[in-house]
Chains A and B, each alone.
Chain A
C-alpha cells in the first residue's frame, strides 16, 4: 500500500457532498470504493481519499424488468441477490460469481469494477453485452451507454469530480437469452478469456445480438462482424461456426504471458461457438463447467 501523501480521509454522506469534495481541485481527492485497486495503483499525487461507503449507493433494485445497481454495492451482494440471479439468465450473477475469491468479492464494489477495468475484470464485459447505462454525477450529470463508456479507458471520461453513482442493466428484450463464460486455469484465476452474449430470437431467427469479449485487451470489446453475420438471420450450425470464426479474427489481442495470441483467438472461437450453440441452437452441453 502506498498512499504517501494522504492528508485526509473523508466520509461524505451524500452524493452531492462527495462531488463537491472531488471537484475541488485543490484537494487532490479521489474516490475510494472497495479500495482494492489501491495496492497496485500509483497514488503519489493523491492527498485525500473520499470513502464512498457511507453514500446511499448500496442497493440492487428491480426497475422495469432491469436492474438498478448502486455503485458501492459489493460484488458479493450481486452474487447473493435473488433479483440478480433471475435477471437475464443469470448472466450478471455468473460474472459476479467469478470475480476473484469470496474474500475479494466482499471488498470489491460494482462501481470500482466498472470504472477501472483491468484485463482480468469480469463485470465490464457483461455491462457491454447488456448495454448497461452508467449514471455519472458531477458538474455535468449524465448517463452514458456502456458502449461509449468502454470505447476508451473510462477514466478519460470522468473529470472534475465525476462520480459513477449507479448502473442500469436494462431489461433484456423479449425472447432473449444471455450467457457469460470465463475460461481460466483454476477456478479463481484471472480469466484467459471471457465472453458475454445477449441475443433475442424467435425460434431460430436471431433478431438482435451483442457479443462482448473480455480479457483479450484491457477494455472489453464487441465483435461487430460476428454480430452482423447473425443479426436477422435464420441460425444454423454453419452460421454459428462462421460467426465464431469471425469473432476470433476480429478481436484485438494483447500479449498474455500465459499463452500465445493464437491460442486466445482459438479460445474466442470455441467459446463464442459454444455459447451460441447453447443459447441459439439449444444444444444441451452438460460440461459447461469446463470453461
Chain B
C-alpha cells in the first residue's frame, strides 16, 4: 500500500515561501494597497429581517461634501446572480441582486456610497432616507416550508442554472435525495436501531482579515480588482455577469490573504467596488468592518439533522438513514452542495448495504450561509457519530470495535457517491486509499482509550472520553480544474505561475515543492506567482480541499513537460540524444557521467543555440475525490455544578496521503481542530426575536485564544494515494468536523447525558444534567 518513493523536496518541511515577508510585515494584503484618488465605499445595511423598500431618498447624502456616488437599486443592473464562487454554471440559485428593492435579512444591502474618506462615507449612509414596509419574516427553518410562511424570494427573476429542484415559492432553495439498497428493509433486519435529532449552530469563519476589495480602471479602461478572494477566476466571471461587462475587461488579482475558510469563496465586494469605479472612473476600496463580517458575510449552515442507524446484534450495520433540514438563510449560496456533502462525508465511510440521505434546503430571513471548512461534513458527522456511539453502547460494544467492524478500507466501492456526487460519475465510484482503521488504532493507543473509557470518577468534576471518525474530499471530480505554467530562467531558476489560490494554507509552497521535486532543484529555485487572472492560468480556486491534489497534479505535469525540454537541450549540449540523459540534482547527466547544469541549459536555451523559451503549461481535472480521513479522541472534564466542559486532551490521527510539507500539514490539522473545538464549546450567533444578531463582535462572539488550547497530539498515519501527486490528498478541512461529536460523546461518558444541540455551553450542559436528574 505504501509504494513510498524517496523524495527530496516533497515530504520535507521546507520554509513557507511567503512566510518571511509576512513575519517582517512587508507582505501586502488587499487593504494595504492604496491608489491616488481612491474613494472609500460603504453599504447601508438593512435593519429589518424582511422588508420592501417603499421609498429611498439619497439627495441629502449626495449633497454631503466629499460624497462621490450614492447608488440604490434604481441605479444598478437588475441581473440575478449568485455570490457563491463555484464552477460554472453554479449549483447555487441566481437569487441575489447587486441592490434590490427588497431586503431579506438584517444586514442585507440597501444602498451603496463612495466618498473621499471612510468617515464621510459613514456620514453619508446616515443621510439616506429609507422608508420600509416591513414584511413577516421566517426566523425558524422548521417553519420555512409551511404554507403560511411568507415567501422570501417572490421575485420572478430568480432561478437555478442547473437541472435540479428549486422551489422559491415554498422557500425551498434545494432538495437532495439519494438511496442505495432499501433502508426500511435494513431496519427490519436489524436487532438494534437508534433514532435521534441534532442541531448545529450558525457560526462565523472569523478569518482575521475582514473582506476587502479595491478596484480601478487602468489605462486601457479595464476594470482591475485586487480582492481578498479564494476564487479569483470565479470572481471575474461573476463580476462580469453582475455588472454586465465582458470577462475580457476584468482582471482580478489576489494578493496575500488573511485566511478564508470558505468565507471568501463568495463574491461579496467585487461587484460593488467595480460598479462604483465604472460610475466614477476612480479607484474604490471597500473593507468590511468586523461587525459587517459577522452580520452580512457568510456563515456555517445551521442544520437540523435526523438520523436512524440500525445494526445486527454482532454490530454489523444494516441501515443508515440521514435527513438534513438546512438553513441557507436569505440567499441560497452553496445550499445544494453543502447539503449533499452532509451525505457524502458521512455515508461514504461505512460498509452498509442500505443507506439513504435526503435534505431540504430552506430560505429564512437570517444570516446567509455559505461554504465553511468542513462543508456539510461537520453537520453530518455530528449526527452520525453521536448516534453510532449510542448504537454501539446499546449493542454492548466499544465504539472503537463498532467502527472497525463497519468502516471501509482502501479500494472500497462506494455506491452512494454515484447518487450524491456533485459532478457526473463515470463507472463505480471508489476510494483508493483509506487508512481510517489505522487512524483509529493509533489514536486510541495515544490517548489511552481502554484505560480511560467509562471511568468518570465521583464528585463534582467528572471525566469522560469520546471519539469520532470523519472524512472530507479532495476536489470535485470532473468539475474542478487546475492549471499551471512554468518557464525556465537563464540561472536555472523557474517561474511557476498558477491560478491556485494561497489563502494562508501554504499552497504556493506546497506546489513549488512539487515543481522542485520534478525539476530536481531546491524549492527556493521556484519563484511562485499565483492568482492573477491576467497572468496566471485558470484554477477554480481554494475550496473543496482541491489545491494540493488537483492543482498539484497540474503542477507536476507541467514540470514534467518542462523536464522533457530541459533534457532535450541538455542532450544537445552533451552531444547525445535525449533518451540517454536524465535529470538529477539540478544537472542533466549523460553517458559516462558527463553533465551540464541547469544554469548552462537555461543560458544556452535563451542565448546560445536554437534559442527558445523552455516553458510548458498543463491542466488537470480530477476523476476521483480521494477522501482524507481522521479519527478523533478527546478527554473532557465536566463540572456538574456549573455545566462547564473543559477539554483536557485531544488526539487526532489523520490519513492525508503523503504530507507534502509535514510542518504545514500539521498546521492545517491543528488549525482546523482548534476551530472545531472552539465551535463546539463557545461560538454562536445569538439573534433577537426580530432576526438581528446580538453579538456581532469578538466581545460576545468568542473564539479560542492561546490560553484555551488543550494538550493536542496530531498523528499522521502512513498513507499513499495512488491517484494523487506524490501520493498526496487533502488535509485542509477534514479535522474541523470531529470535535462536535467527539466532545458530545465524551460528555456522555462523563455525566451520562447526550447533547444534541451545539455549542455545548455550560448552561446547556447543566440543563441536561438537571433534566436527567429530574428523570
**Quick check: B763 and A260 within 8 Å, CB to CB?**
yes
Residue of B nearest to A40 (CB): B699
**Quick check: A183 and B642 within 8 Å, CB to CB?**
yes
Question: A240-258, CB under 8 A of B: which get 1 and which 0?
Answer: 0000000000000000011
Shortest Cβ distance from residue B773 to the other chain A in the assembled complex, whole angstroms: 13
Complex interface: chain B residues within 8 A of A187 (CB): 705, 707-708
Expressed in whole angstroms, the Cα–Cα distance for A187 and B708 within the complex equals: 6
**Quick check: A190 and B700 within 8 Å, CB to CB?**
yes
**Quick check: A101 and B642 within 8 Å, CB to CB?**
no
Question: A27-64, CB under 8 A of B: which get 1 and which 0?
Answer: 00000000000000000000000000000000000000
Complex interface: chain B residues within 8 A of A229 (CB): none
Complex interface: chain A residues within 8 A of B682 (CB): 185-186, 189
Shortest Cβ distance from residue A130 to the other chain B in the assembled complex, whole angstroms: 25
Chain B stretch 696-715: residues in CB contact (< 8 A) with chain A: 699-700, 702, 704-705, 707-708
The interface-forming segment of A167-175, A212-220, A262-270 is A262-270
Complex interface: chain B residues within 8 A of A101 (CB): 705
**Quick check: A287 and B637 within 8 Å, CB to CB?**
yes
**Quick check: B686 and A267 within 8 Å, CB to CB?**
no
**Quick check: A290 and B686 within 8 Å, CB to CB?**
no
Expressed in whole angstroms, the Cα–Cα distance for A81 and B402 within the complex equals: 56
Complex interface: chain A residues within 8 A of B699 (CB): 190
Asked if A10 is at the interface (CB within 8 A of a chain B CB), the reply is no
Shortest Cβ distance from residue B208 to the other chain A in the assembled complex, whole angstroms: 15
- Known contacts A186-B705, A187-B705; decide if A290 and B763 are in contact (CB<8 Å): no
Complex interface: chain B residues within 8 A of A185 (CB): 681-682, 702, 761-762
Asked if B182 is at the interface (CB within 8 A of a chain A CB), the reply is no
Residue of B nearest to A267 (CB): B642
Expressed in whole angstroms, the Cα–Cα distance for A47 and B644 within the complex equals: 47
Shortest Cβ distance from residue B678 to the other chain A in the assembled complex, whole angstroms: 8
Chain B stretch 731-772: residues in CB contact (< 8 A) with chain A: 761-763, 766-767
Return the contact of B761 from the options A258, A266, A290 (Cβ within 8 A): A258
Return the contact of B705 from the options A188, A266, A290 (Cβ within 8 A): A188
Expressed in whole angstroms, the Cα–Cα distance for A220 and B694 within the complex equals: 24
**Quick check: A258 and B700 within 8 Å, CB to CB?**
yes
Chain B stretch 602-655: residues in CB contact (< 8 A) with chain A: 637, 639, 641-642, 644, 646
Return the contact of B641 from the options A188, A258, A259, A274 (Cβ within 8 A): A274
Return the contact of B694 from the options A192, A257, A287 (Cβ within 8 A): A257
Complex interface: chain B residues within 8 A of A189 (CB): 682, 702
**Quick check: B695 and A257 within 8 Å, CB to CB?**
yes
Shortest Cβ distance from residue A54 to the other chain B in the assembled complex, whole angstroms: 30
Shortest Cβ distance from residue A162 to the other chain B in the assembled complex, whole angstroms: 29
Shortest Cβ distance from residue A222 to the other chain B in the assembled complex, whole angstroms: 22
Complex interface: chain B residues within 8 A of A291 (CB): 642
Complex interface: chain A residues within 8 A of B646 (CB): 290
**Quick check: B641 and A270 within 8 Å, CB to CB?**
yes
Expressed in whole angstroms, the Cα–Cα distance for A9 and B252 within the complex equals: 45
Shortest Cβ distance from residue B348 to the other chain A in the assembled complex, whole angstroms: 34
Expressed in whole angstroms, the Cα–Cα distance for A270 and B644 within the complex equals: 12
Expressed in whole angstroms, the Cα–Cα distance for A192 and B644 within the complex equals: 12
Complex interface: chain A residues within 8 A of B644 (CB): 183, 290
Expressed in whole angstroms, the Cα–Cα distance for A37 and B564 within the complex equals: 65
Asked if B350 is at the interface (CB within 8 A of a chain A CB), the reply is no
Residue of B nearest to A189 (CB): B702
Complex interface: chain B residues within 8 A of A188 (CB): 702, 705, 707
Complex interface: chain B residues within 8 A of A258 (CB): 686, 700, 761, 763
**Quick check: B639 and A290 within 8 Å, CB to CB?**
yes
**Quick check: A259 and B461 within 8 Å, CB to CB?**
no
Expressed in whole angstroms, the Cα–Cα distance for A290 and B641 within the complex equals: 11
Shortest Cβ distance from residue A193 to the other chain B in the assembled complex, whole angstroms: 10
Total residues of chain B contacting the partner, CB 8 A: 25
* Chain A residues touching B, range: 20 to 34
Shortest Cβ distance from residue A18 to the other chain B in the assembled complex, whole angstroms: 30
Complex interface: chain B residues within 8 A of A257 (CB): 686, 694-695, 700
Residue of B nearest to A260 (CB): B763
Residue of B nearest to A289 (CB): B646
**Quick check: A186 and B708 within 8 Å, CB to CB?**
yes
Complex interface: chain A residues within 8 A of B639 (CB): 287, 290
Shortest Cβ distance from residue B127 to the other chain A in the assembled complex, whole angstroms: 16
Question: B662-697, CB under 8 A of A: which get 1 and which 0?
Answer: 000000000000000000011000100000001100
Complex interface: chain B residues within 8 A of A263 (CB): 762-763, 766-767
* Residue among B681, B695, B763 having the largest count of chain A Cβ atoms under 10 Å: B763
Expressed in whole angstroms, the Cα–Cα distance for A190 and B701 within the complex equals: 10
Expressed in whole angstroms, the Cα–Cα distance for A230 and B461 within the complex equals: 27
Expressed in whole angstroms, the Cα–Cα distance for A259 and B644 within the complex equals: 13
Expressed in whole angstroms, the Cα–Cα distance for A257 and B767 within the complex equals: 17
Expressed in whole angstroms, the Cα–Cα distance for A274 and B639 within the complex equals: 12
Residue of B nearest to A190 (CB): B699
Expressed in whole angstroms, the Cα–Cα distance for A183 and B642 within the complex equals: 9
Expressed in whole angstroms, the Cα–Cα distance for A187 and B707 within the complex equals: 6
Residue of A nearest to B646 (CB): A290
**Quick check: A287 and B461 within 8 Å, CB to CB?**
yes
Residue of B nearest to A120 (CB): B699
Complex interface: chain B residues within 8 A of A270 (CB): 641-642
Shortest Cβ distance from residue A257 to the other chain B in the assembled complex, whole angstroms: 5
Residue of A nearest to B694 (CB): A257
Expressed in whole angstroms, the Cα–Cα distance for A266 and B762 within the complex equals: 11
Residue of A nearest to B699 (CB): A190
Expressed in whole angstroms, the Cα–Cα distance for A267 and B642 within the complex equals: 6
Expressed in whole angstroms, the Cα–Cα distance for A258 and B695 within the complex equals: 9
Residue of A nearest to B645 (CB): A290
Expressed in whole angstroms, the Cα–Cα distance for A266 and B637 within the complex equals: 20
Complex interface: chain A residues within 8 A of B705 (CB): 101, 186-188
Return the contact of B766 from the options A190, A266, A274 (Cβ within 8 A): A266
Complex interface: chain A residues within 8 A of B637 (CB): 287, 290
Complex interface: chain B residues within 8 A of A290 (CB): 461, 637, 639, 642, 644, 646
**Quick check: A186 and B686 within 8 Å, CB to CB?**
no
* Residue among A188, A190, A258 having the largest count of chain B Cβ atoms under 10 Å: A258
Expressed in whole angstroms, the Cα–Cα distance for A188 and B704 within the complex equals: 9
Shortest Cβ distance from residue B117 to the other chain A in the assembled complex, whole angstroms: 14
Residue of B nearest to A259 (CB): B763
Expressed in whole angstroms, the Cα–Cα distance for A187 and B678 within the complex equals: 12
Complex interface: chain B residues within 8 A of A192 (CB): 762
Complex interface: chain B residues within 8 A of A266 (CB): 766
Shortest Cβ distance from residue A258 to the other chain B in the assembled complex, whole angstroms: 7
* Residue among B642, B694, B766, B767 having the largest count of chain A Cβ atoms under 10 Å: B642
Complex interface: chain A residues within 8 A of B762 (CB): 183, 185, 192, 259, 263
Complex interface: chain A residues within 8 A of B763 (CB): 258-260, 263
Complex interface: chain A residues within 8 A of B766 (CB): 263, 266
Shortest Cβ distance from residue A289 to the other chain B in the assembled complex, whole angstroms: 8
Expressed in whole angstroms, the Cα–Cα distance for A188 and B642 within the complex equals: 18
Shortest Cβ distance from residue B10 to the other chain A in the assembled complex, whole angstroms: 38
Question: B352-368, CB under 8 A of A: which get 1 and which 0?
Answer: 00000000000000000
Question: A7-31, CB under 8 A of B: which get 1 and which 0?
Answer: 0000000000000000000000000
Expressed in whole angstroms, the Cα–Cα distance for A259 and B700 within the complex equals: 12
Residue of A nearest to B640 (CB): A270
Residue of B nearest to A185 (CB): B682
Chain A to chain B: the 10 pairs with minimum beta-carbon distance, closest first: A187-B707, A259-B763, A263-B763, A270-B641, A185-B682, A186-B702, A257-B694, A257-B686, A186-B708, A290-B639
Interfacial residues, chain B to chain A (CB-CB below 8 A): 460-461, 637, 639, 641-642, 644, 646, 681-682, 686, 694-695, 699-700, 702, 704-705, 707-708, 761-763, 766-767
Q: Would you give 15 A-B contacts (Cβ < 8 Å), ordered by A?
A: A183-B762, A185-B681, A186-B704, A186-B707, A186-B708, A188-B705, A192-B762, A257-B694, A257-B700, A258-B763, A259-B763, A266-B766, A270-B641, A270-B642, A287-B639
Q: Given known contacts A187-B708, A257-B695, A290-B639, what 9 new A-B pairs fall within 8 Å (CB)?
A: A183-B762, A185-B681, A188-B705, A259-B761, A263-B762, A263-B766, A270-B642, A274-B641, A290-B637
Interfacial residues, chain A to chain B (CB-CB below 8 A): 101, 183, 185-190, 192, 257-260, 263, 266-267, 270, 274, 287, 290-291
